[in-house]
Amino acid sequence: MDMIDIRALSLWQPWASLIVSGIKRFETRSWRSQYRGLLAIHAAKRPTDFTATRDLADLIRQVKGHSPSELPRGTLVGFVEVVAYHPTHEIRERLSREELRAGNYADGRWAWELQHPRWLPSYVPYKEYRGRQGLWKIRIDKSLIHTCQHEGCLQADAVRCWFGPADPAQEDEYYCATHCHEHGFCYTCGEFWGGIDTFDRSLSHLCEHCQQEFEEDEDECYA
């Protein structure tokens, strides 16, 4: 088994699942790091305060296949990519109400911007770790992280790209953010552009559906 070391972050539920579901796109902390790149999300084993779970019940219901009592704990649940750090006072005015509810945006804190969330196909328990503070290293099976298939590129945690209606029998492929569009796939949903009515070949590299969702999210954030 080929193992690699990556950075990990432990969070209580429901915040861990909200992040890997893409519902929570910023993680707020009292500190920032210089680290950018792939980050494993570990759901702490400790139960969450009932009040916090109750206040976020409507967001938790958006987590596919889970109710608050079913959220996994004491396990690695997925991955995200850390792309930037923002002072909370500079970013909170342009975030949605839901995003603000899921974090602590008080002055003097940092908002970690997260992209490309994905669940693991099955949960990986790490009983030897009791939820650490800060970033820590974790050793995992390299097969859990897909590498970009573009010739000469070894970027980890590539996006699952699929052919959909264009060729449903074709096997999935995996490409990084840089090479998704070069092979004709939408970077956000991973669908092949040939199976979509319109495809944006501009810098956004999004299909019509994802572009519309992106614009709607922007409108809501700035409303």
> pLDDT tens digit string along 15-39?
999 998 888 999 999 999 999 888 9
> pLDDT tens digit string along 79-134?
888 989 999 999 999 999 999 999 999 999 999 999 878 887 666 665 545 556 78
Q: Which residues contact 219 (CB under 8 A, 6 or more apart)?
A: none
Instruction: List the structure tokens of 28.
Output: 């707020």
Phi, then psi, of 63 in degrees rounded to 5: -75, 115
> For residues 132, 137, 140 and 143, what is the CA-based torsion angle, rounded to 10 degrees?
130
Alpha helices in the chain (DSSP H): 15-20, 50-55, 57-60, 88-91, 97-101, 208-222
Tell me the domain boundaries of the chain.
3-144, 159-222
Domain 3-144 coded CATH 2.30.130.30: yes
pTM: 0.68
Whose structure tokens read 């949903």?
189
Q: For residue 208, is pLDDT > 80? A: no
Share of residues in the chain with pLDDT > 70 (%): 73
Contact 92, 73 (CB under 8 A): no
Q: What is the 3-state secondary structure (H, E, C) of 46-80?
A: CCCCHHHHHHCHHHHCCCCCCCHHHCCCCEEEEEE
